[in-house]
Amino acid sequence: MIERANAVLVLEDGTTFHGKAVGKIGKASGELAFNTGMTGYQEVFTDPSYLGQLVIMTSPHIGNYGTTPSDSESENIQCAGIIVKKFSEVSSRDISDMSLQEYLIKDDKVGISDIDTRALVRYIRSKGAMNAIISSDDNVTIEDLQEELKSVPSMKGLELASQVSTKKAYVMSSSTGKSHYKVALIDFGTKTSIARCLNERDCEVKIFPMNSSLEDLLAYQPDGFVLSNGPGDPAVMTSSHELVKDIINTNIPVFGICMGHQIIALSQGLVTEKMHQGHRGLNHPVLNHKTGKGEITSQNHGFVVSRISAEDNDNVIITHSHLNDNTVAGIALKDKLVFSVQYHPESSAGPHDSRYLFDEFISNMDTHKQS
């Protein structure tokens, strides 16, 4: 057993948890967010949607199967820090090439373990999402950390997508060697698995920066557009609202995922709301109103489209609803080949119930080609 340094987690309301340091020695701050997935910690930590957040993993053992490049959703760990109950220094997976501790050190990430994550999650569930700070620095006091927390910005009103969006367009070619479709993916903080799912369906995918012009996008001559997931508050991304509105007006099929779903809604005059605690995990039940079937979905979002604003818009159909709280989980436009969902059909890690949505997008591209 490796003896690890002491660490502390301080919440903005003064609540304090003591534990042991993982990753590098130092400090990290951000909004607390808990993920209920029992597996897929590497995919979670490398998901750009977690930028600016301290991720609590509710699974009691984290790190036991190490890390491997094929499980990463981006090039680096994106969350600000990690909070876990039991942290394993031992990697027992044959394909692991690095322990989670080594991975955290490589990316200069701070974490804390050996705290009661169940108590912490229950507290957030009751009090709502809030900022916090992790510290394994012996030279700072609890009072110092509480003072530092005052300057950590709220997630509401915070634009973060520009920090993780690609700066230069690049192509991911079809894994089948065929390219029947060309898809322009607008990167608000995309997970690599989205492009992989499209590649598997004979799509060449060109990933574009979020600030690309409509002219640059159309010069690629795409058969369809995908709007990716991403971090921060979508309501403040007004230039993206206008770009997506222009994209929709081209009549080329559009598929929005998570933040992409929210930006489609905002481009059509709907509004978004900050959630009390967010949806993050691999077992969220969703009802498909068209088929009447339920889906178990992978979700990661702290904002949601207002149901009232969606119901008041004559051109918007609510296609999916979250069965736990009846929040809007999917919409479509009546007069366009445009649809979106609040969850992650690429689901890595997670269930594959929603992969059919990629097939529906392919069908929409076929319909557009034939028109």
Domain termination site, one of 123, 149, 175: 149
- What's the structural domain count of the chain? 2
**Is the link from the previous residue into 195 a cis peptide, with omega within 30 of 0?**
no
Domain span including residue 334 = 161-370
> Is 317 found in the same domain as 199?
yes
Residues 90 and 192 in one domain: no
> Could you report how far apart the first and last alpha carbons of the chain are, in Å?
65
Catalytic residues: 258, 344, 346
Cβ–Cβ under 8 Å, residues 29 and 133: yes
pTM: 0.95
Same domain, 42 and 63: yes
In this prediction, residue 268 carries a pLDDT of: 98
Considering the domain architecture, whether residues 94 and 182 belong to the same structural domain is answered as no
91 and 173 fall within a common domain: no
pLDDT of residue 335: 94
Note whether 263 and 237 are within 8 A (CB): yes
Does 92 reside within a domain? yes
Same domain assignment for residues 176 and 258: yes
- Sequence-separated (6 or more) residues with CB below 8 Å from residue 122: none
Closest C-alpha among 202, 172, 174, 200 to residue 185: 172
133 and 217, same domain (yes or no): no
Say yes or no: 93 and 214 in one domain.
no
Same domain for 311 and 237: yes
Burial class (CB in 10 A: 0-12, 13-18, 19+), 177: exposed
Q: Give me the pLDDT at residue 295, please.
A: 96
Q: Do 304 and 196 reside in the same domain of the chain?
A: yes
Q: How many residues does this entry show for the chain?
A: 371
Per-residue pLDDT of the chain (371 residues; tens, 9 = 90+): 568 999 999 999 999 999 999 999 999 999 999 999 988 999 999 999 999 999 999 999 999 999 999 999 999 999 999 999 999 988 888 899 999 999 999 999 999 999 999 999 999 999 999 999 999 998 899 999 999 999 999 999 999 999 999 999 999 998 777 789 999 999 999 999 999 999 999 999 999 999 999 999 999 999 999 999 999 999 999 999 999 999 999 999 999 999 999 999 999 999 999 999 899 999 999 999 999 999 999 999 999 999 999 999 999 999 999 999 999 999 999 999 999 999 999 987 788 999 999 999 999 999 999 88
For residue 1, the model assigns a pLDDT of 57
Please indicate, yes or no, if residue 235 is contained in any of the structural domains.
yes
Domain assignment present for 155: no
SS3 of the chain: the string is: CCCCCEEEEEECCCCEEEEEEEECCCEEEEEEEEECCCCCHHHHHCCHHHECEEEEECCCEECCCCECHHHCCCCCCCECEEECCEECCCCCCCCCCECHHHHHHHCCCEEEECCCHHHHHHHHHHHCCCEEEEECCCCCCHHHHHHHHCCCCCCCCCECHHHHCCCCCEEECCCCCCCCEEEEEEECCCCHHHHHHHHCCCEEEEEEECCCCHHHHHHCCCCEEEECCCCECHHHCHHHHHHHHHHHCCCCCEEEECHHHHHHHHHCCCCEEEEEEEEEEEEEEEEECCCCCEEEEEEEEEEEECHHHHHCCCCEEEEEEECCCCCEEEEEECCCCEEEECCCCCCCCCCCCCCHHHHHHHHHHHHHHHC
Query: What is the per-residue pLDDT for 176?
Result: 73
